[in-house]
Structure 1
Amino acid sequence: MDALDMSEAIRNGKVDRVELIKESYQKIDQLNGKLNAVIKRRDERALEEAQNFVDRGQPFAGVPLLLKGLGQSLAGEPDTNGSRLLKDNYAQKTDNFVKCLKEAGFIVIGQTNVPEFGFKNITDPVLYGAAHNPWNLQYSPGGSSGGSASAVAAGIVPIAAGNDGGGSIRIPASFSGLIGLKPTRGRVPVGPASWRGWQGAAINFALTKSIRDTAALLDALQIVQPAAPFQTPLIKPGFLVKAEQPFKQKLRVAYSIESPVGSEVSNDAKTAVLEAVDFLNSQGIQTEEIKNPLNGSELMRSYYIVNSGETASMFEKIEQQINRRVTAADMELTTWVIYQAGLLLSAKDYSKTLSLWDEASAIMDHLYENYDVYLTPTTAYTAPKINEELITPASIEKMQHVTELGRTERLNLIAEFFERSLKLTPFTQQANMTGQPAISLPTFVSKNGLPLGIQFIGRKGDESTLLRIGQLFEEENTFKMLH
């Protein structure tokens, strides 16, 4: 059953709401020792909420859900962000995103594993240890929503919450054979603690197994918040209705199989896109190969500037909370280097970066005057092994002496130590910087037995077309999921 099936079965008396929660916990008992996907349970509270649940017609009435252990606060529950420094931190308030999930009828049963502060495209925090991919336990489920992806792929829950600041929903969706949507900037609830989320790059949503769950969840979450810095108009009659409607016009799909940063792309990733192109053509949809109109390398450097600046700001707040300065011993080495780079940035650096993002957004919007969607691989390769060396020993040596470096050298060092990681996943970050919606669909499995997703990127505000395309692939049974 997908989540909507579960809700209907509960409502019709075919499934007991409390037993459904217990079943998810039984799956955690059976599977989590191998997966390390779930880092916190709330058995007593979740079962109590299920017992006392009031059905008011919510779309996901009584469905079990896991929150991501990063940037999704539920009052009274751990709020660690995968960090040893915050291992004893608990949320004082429930944020607006989680409130809306609960209002949609979900019962939160726990939290999922994340890399420290979500900086990686794999999930291996020192605090909790590595999460594992249900397709093959020797491989990563991706990151930073890796624990959520692992839990959904394994069938522990039908939906798990995630967030996406550079591909953190779509990358694990690709690596774990799931649907991963990053909505348009401003589409879903934010606040009250963090309104901008990496200057609008980071968006909360979820990993799912069906397009209709994805659409219904977006219907439940879409909102116009007057206090929020980014606004997106509501879509009516809703995404679930639109996903099932035929296309109003002949669709035009642009596609590219070249990395936006000039790195190598695997034959698997190219094949996944070209097979999708053949399928679209067979459906009467026009496709055309194009060159990415953006300067990918320049944008990635700007992305690291925002990461660094936001990290420096975050640690200033943490220092005020803990009443002391943070040190390298408080965090993982990657976090320390990003933080140190942020300390030397200027207001000019930040202003130029945000202007560049606006320019990139305008360039991409111009693309949609000729095309309806833009297709790429989601990731350039299938998932890496758990212990794959993604940072070279030479880079680690430099990182350990980051405080001896100047501003430009520190930024260059970030690009250097992320080089291998970025080679795996160069396609997702641009939609975060431009604010566009993007979805990863699970249409391909490599000869090594691991999935790899394809990514459709839409015009701002047009998740409907992405969902309708997803529905088309799903209807024709092209999805490759773990069963």
Structure 2
Amino acid sequence: MFKEYTRYDASGLAELIACGDVSSTEVLEAAMARAAEVNPKLAAICIPMDAMARERGKMSLQGPFAGVPFLIKDIAQDYAGVPTTAGSRALRHWTPTRHAEIVQRFLDAGLVIFGKTSTPEFAFKGETAPLIWGSPTRNPWDLDRTPGGSSGGAAAAVAAGIVPAAGASDGGGSIRIPASYCGLFGLRPSRGRVPSGQAHGEFWDGASSQHALTRSVRDSARILDAIAGADVGAPFAIAPPERSYAEEIQRPAGKLRIGYSVQSPLGTPVHPEYVQAVMRTAKLLTELGHDVEPAQPEVDGQALARSFITMYFGQAAASIAQARRLTGAGNEAFELETRVLALLGRTLSAGDYVDQRARWNDYARALGRFHQSYDLYLTPTAAQPPNRIGELATPPLQQVAAKIVLALGAGKLLFKSGMVDKLVATSLQRVPFTQLSNLTGTPSMSVPLHWAPAETGGAELPYGVQFVARFGDEAMLLRLAAQLEQAQPWSECRPPLQ
């Protein structure tokens, strides 16, 4: 057994395999052994693919990550012949017949996929606890807490050392928030940088991007090199980078102008440790020679939240409708909260949706004006630490009320009652910073630069900080991330999970 497996990032493992210091079979078995050891505590991997992986591991693989173990997310990352459940009981037995383009590119890079990671139903919750698998995914830093959503399974697996990197996606913060909660590096690429094909043109009207969660910046850069670029029939092609991202992280970051804010765009509280994370990062950036000062784009945070949640409701309705078409599933196959979101989506008119979708342009223009003065925008990644398992569960009385509303089809009543506005506040006040990047299509990243107890006597938790760049400029983010990683290394910051 390769006992030092968890010490290496994906690039390091690839180098060992290429040099013949260790075989791809030994590395795969080490990954599977680690999964067998810790996954029962975490519920991160929901669909094992061990037999398929062992067969692939025997092949002569090519690519920058030849022989490196990897996991993919159980939504949008289809693997031919393996169910894609999207965390829903309705899709438990639905099996795609072809790989998603991003999965094919993972395979072309030589990665050995040995499982799929858990996600909330249709990626609609900030914690990963789908009813289909019976057990919530837990955070390796504190097993009583969530790793976040919707790439919670991926984040837990990487943080726990099952894999050095795992496939992920981000439609409202689902790469960056789990990265923050689990002490990982998480880059959300620009709209169109990574393909959504073949089954989709764009996810969530272009708000969602796919990539990976990693422990190292170089893994993130090299994986992005492997998966970037439009596929056949893509709705549009983003301008390619000037050079590879692996090359970019070797280049100096330069002197950057960085505006920062610790104020929630919703006017809701921000945990002191997230404030401290930003202030410490601002100090570090200044010491590295960057110009850093308080500043924020002129974006109405409440308006942006309404635009995001409108898209969110609409996507819930569309996801259930699509699942019904694929499987003929009845109401009982979908979680109660998802059905309520879908009802709200069906209650909105097409005009409501188009009106809110058009406002994305306002946020993009405002952020563009901000970037005329500042290269990057720095904020906390989240406003609150990860919630405790079960903390966000719908109370019994509200479940009864929800069932009555569904039975009556009373979506309009929910809007008129003001309950939807309360839902928006409840849903986003913990994570109000990430949606700006999604609706503007801009690249952003969460960097693990601060650790502290969640509260007096609590377990130590990571608190990530977010940087948002201009559209298409992942290179600037990665150069800065490499500089920060060198100045304040985080690779040895590992959770206490044994």
Asked if residue 104 in structure 1 is aligned to residue 109 in structure 2, the reply is yes
State the shift of 1:207 in Å. 0.4
User: 1:454 aligned to 429, 441, 465, which one?
Assistant: 465
Cα distance in structure 2, aligned partners of 1:397 and 1:45: 44
State the shift of 1:347 in Å. 1.9
Cα distance in structure 1, aligned partners of 2:398 and 2:304: 22
Aligned residue number for residue 241 of structure 1: 247
Cα distance in structure 1, aligned partners of 2:179 and 2:140: 12
Asked if residue 290 in structure 1 is aligned to residue 278 in structure 2, the reply is no
Q: Equivalences for 1:392-431 in 2 at 5 Å?
A: 395-403=398-406, 404=408, 405-407=410-412, 409-410=414-415, 413-417=419-423, 419-431=425-437
Partner-residue secondary structure (3-state), 2:482? helix
Aligned residue number for residue 320 of structure 1: 325
Aligned residue number for residue 22 of structure 2: 15
Relative to 1, partners in 2 of residues 1:247 and 1:389: Cα closer, same or farther, differing over 3 Å?
closer
Range 164-173 or range 90-99, more displaced:
90-99
RMSD of aligned residue pairs (Cα, Å): 1.7
Asked if residue 159 in structure 1 is aligned to residue 165 in structure 2, the reply is yes
Aligned residue number for residue 303 of structure 1: 308
Aligned residue number for residue 482 of structure 1: 494
Aligned residue number for residue 85 of structure 2: 80
User: 1:115 aligned to 110, 117, 120, which one?
Assistant: 120
Aligned residue number for residue 136 of structure 1: 142
> Are the equivalent residues in 1 in contact too, given 2:61–2:67 (CA < 8 A)?
no
State the shift of 1:32 in Å. 0.8
Cα distance in structure 2, aligned partners of 1:47 and 1:65: 12
State the shift of 1:394 in Å. 6.1
Partner-residue secondary structure (3-state), 1:134? coil
Range 63-72 or range 470-479, more displaced:
470-479
Give the AA of the match of 1:83.
S
Asked if residue 468 in structure 1 is aligned to residue 473 in structure 2, the reply is no
Relative to 1, partners in 2 of residues 1:227 and 1:205: Cα closer, same or farther, differing over 3 Å?
same
Aligned length: 478
User: 2:12 aligned to 5, 9, 20, which one?
Assistant: 5
Cα distance in structure 2, aligned partners of 1:440 and 1:48: 35
Structure 1 stretches lacking a partner, 5+ long? none
Asked if residue 208 in structure 1 is aligned to residue 220 in structure 2, the reply is no
Asked if residue 186 in structure 1 is aligned to residue 192 in structure 2, the reply is yes
State the shift of 1:478 in Å. 4.5
State the shift of 1:399 in Å. 2.6
Cα distance in structure 2, aligned partners of 1:254 and 1:76: 47
Aligned residue number for residue 55 of structure 2: 48
State the shift of 1:415 in Å. 4.3
Identity of matched residues, %: 36
Aligned residue number for residue 3 of structure 2: none
Listed one character per residue, the Cα deviations across residues 6-34 of structure 1 (whole Å, up to 9, x for unaligned) are 11110000011011111111111111111
> Are the equivalent residues in 2 in contact too, given 1:437–1:461 (CA < 8 A)?
yes
Q: Equivalences for 1:342-381 in 2 at 5 Å?
A: 342-381=345-384
TM-score by length of 2: 0.92
Structure 2 stretches lacking a partner, 5+ long? 1-7
Relative to 1, partners in 2 of residues 1:70 and 1:410: Cα closer, same or farther, differing over 3 Å?
farther
Partner-residue secondary structure (3-state), 1:163? strand
State the shift of 1:291 in Å. 3.6
Cα distance in structure 2, aligned partners of 1:172 and 1:297: 23
State the shift of 1:414 in Å. 4.4
> Are the equivalent residues in 2 in contact too, given 1:392–1:417 (CA < 8 A)?
no
Cα distance in structure 2, aligned partners of 1:418 and 1:133: 25
Cα distance in structure 2, aligned partners of 1:236 and 1:291: 29
TM-score by length of 1: 0.95
Partner-residue secondary structure (3-state), 1:195? coil
Range 343-352 or range 151-160, more displaced:
343-352
Listed one character per residue, the Cα deviations across residues 88-126 of structure 1 (whole Å, up to 9, x for unaligned) are 221222111111111111111101111111111111111
Asked if residue 70 in structure 1 is aligned to residue 81 in structure 2, the reply is no
State the shift of 1:393 in Å. 5.8
User: 2:274 aligned to 238, 248, 269, which one?
Assistant: 269
State the shift of 1:390 in Å. 5.5
Cα distance in structure 2, aligned partners of 1:61 and 1:246: 29
Listed one character per residue, the Cα deviations across residues 390-437 of structure 1 (whole Å, up to 9, x for unaligned) are 656665454333334243734954443353342221111111111010
Cα distance in structure 2, aligned partners of 1:269 and 1:79: 35
Cα distance in structure 1, aligned partners of 2:466 and 2:159: 18
